[in-house]
Amino acid sequence: MVKEIYAKTILNKHKRRDSWFLDDYSLNPYQLCQFNCIYCYIRGSKYGENMAGQLSVKVNAPQLLEKEIRRRALKREYGFIALSSSTEPWQPIEAEYRITRKCLEIISKYRFPVHCLTKSKMILEDLDLLKEIDGKAVLPGDLRWIKHGVLVTFSLSSLNDKVAKIFEPGAPKPRERLDALCKVKEEGLYAGIAYIPVLPFISDSMEKLEEMIKTAKDCNAEYVFVGALTLLGPCKKFYYKILEKHFPHLLPRYTKLFRMFNQPSREYQLRLEKEAIRLCKKYNVKFMITGGLS
């Protein structure tokens, strides 16, 4: 059951710009997510295992945003707004509430750039607004080199439908996301792929990474992110339950890789990044929006 809640604030200003996704602000129209991804870092919070069952919609988000973004615009404090940092802005409930679309209308009105982070093909329903924002958004002075007021990043952890169904049970199939990316690119928007997280011993082999980067190139993606899996707090226990059910032979390898920490070893992360950079060069795709320079 979906809860309707009234938020106190909606536009979150970061202490510093995100060095990967380049956002100065984040905006989350919903609380929790119907996609129910097993690895989601929100599972490490008080909401626990049943994310979809505690889904809430911030029904006053557009009204709050109008008030908060107007104040920022008057001060010319322009910066990319991430939609969204902790939930899916185009999850199925958006078809009923249209909160994300209403927020985009306000973002367009005040000419802020936006970075859309999504697993959903539903974003295609808002291409009209995104193209409008792209053409008139005011970029921060040091980001004018991007030349686009809209960034669209589709997230995948695997290209394999069966694997994706296990770890992202409520999300569209990988092929549907890739098809949506192709359509976004056809409309002239700046878009790429975030392979975050790649799943250790499941989607992180050299062969699978190459398939991922090649697929990004085939979809005309402008850039690719590749990031390791993070398992915060209770999230690790829940993730391991899924492993035990579907990939029991991998449990000892995970235990060794993560040990006492919520991230893989530093050696693993450096190897992953090095291989991703090599493959991006091979297929002539940017590694990250900045080309790896941040």
Q: Which CATH number do you get for residue 245?
A: 3.20.20.70
Provide the CB-side half-sphere exposure for 199 (13 A, CA): 24
Phi–psi pair at 25, nearest 5 degrees: -135, 160
Residue 292 is assigned to a structural domain of this protein: no
Length of the chain: 294
N-to-C CA span, the chain: 42
Q: What is the pLDDT of residue 91?
A: 97
Residue 294 is assigned to a structural domain of this protein: no
Q: If you ran DSSP here, which 8-state letter would residue 4 be given?
A: E
Kindly report the three-state secondary structure assignment for every residue of 251-285.
HHHHHHHHCCCCCCCHHHHHHHHHHHHHHHHHHCC
Task: For the beta carbon of residue 218, count every other beta carbon within 10 angstroms.
Answer: 11
Q: What is the pLDDT of residue 50?
A: 55
Residue 254 is assigned to a structural domain of this protein: yes
Q: What is the pLDDT of residue 294?
A: 45
| Integer Cα distance of 50 and 243 in angstroms | 18
| Integer Cα distance of 28 and 144 in angstroms | 25
Residue among 259, 250, 212, 204 nearest 231 (CA) = 259
State pLDDT tens for residues 92-122. Answer: 999 999 999 999 999 999 999 999 999 999 9
Q: Tokens at residue 268, please?
A: 């693993």
Q: What is the pLDDT of residue 169?
A: 96
Residue 125 is assigned to a structural domain of this protein: yes
Low-confidence ranges of the chain (pLDDT < 70): 44-53, 292-294
Residue 150 is assigned to a structural domain of this protein: yes
Contact between 81 and 23 under an 8 Å Cβ cutoff? The reply is yes
Residue 101 is assigned to a structural domain of this protein: yes
Task: Calculate ∠ Cα 138-15-232, nearest 5°.
Answer: 115
What total number of domains does the chain contain? 1
Contact between 84 and 26 under an 8 Å Cβ cutoff? The reply is yes
Residue 293 is assigned to a structural domain of this protein: no
- The residue written with tokens 């792209």 in the block is 134
Average pLDDT taken over every residue of the chain = 94
Q: What is the pLDDT of residue 52?
A: 53
Q: What is the pLDDT of residue 51?
A: 59
Residue 120 Cα distances to 102, 153, 162, 175, 243, angstroms: 17, 10, 18, 11, 25
Q: Tokens at residue 204, please?
A: 């992180």
Sign of CA dihedral 144, 145, 147, 149: negative
Residue span of the structural domain in which 14 resides: 3-287
